[in-house]
Amino acid sequence: MTDIYSTEADFEAEITILTSEQGGRNQPPCNYIRWDLGYADRDHDDAIYMIWPNFLDAHGSPMSKDIPIEGTSIARMHILVKDMLDFHKQRLLVGTKFNCHEGCRVVARGKVTKLLAISS
């Protein structure tokens, strides 16, 4: 199934949005947010990657663009730079932890829950 990125999702993840008190955003994000992903075990100088979420509602359908997202949600994740697929296939396993970044600030934490297109 394709969605907002017009490509198959590569994996699914459980993502917890950090509150402003936890160092996250002042306003909750909405779907279509363009966060970058950094692996949780990365060193401060390691790269972050264009892997963007598409948050799902309780029925497994993509959420509307105008609904604020708070707490923990499931998202389909899309690796935008397809030349990096082999690299990410080595790193992404069920249970892999990651951070969602806005610039150098971590605004959410996630964990891979299901491999999709990346498993092929």
Residue percentage of the chain with pLDDT more than 90: 76
pLDDT given at position 66: 87
pLDDT given at position 118: 82
Q: Which residues contact 36 (CB under 8 A, 6 or more apart)?
A: 48, 49, 50, 51, 100, 101
pLDDT given at position 104: 83
Q: Is 66 exposed, middle or buried (0-12, 13-18, 19+ CB in 10 A)?
A: exposed
Three-state DSSP at 54 gives strand
Three-state DSSP at 62 gives strand
Which residue in 47, 35, 52 sits closest to 100, CA to CA?
35
pLDDT given at position 2: 44
Low-confidence ranges of the chain (pLDDT < 50): 1-2
Q: What is the dihedral of CA 104, 100, 8, 31, to 10 degrees?
A: -100
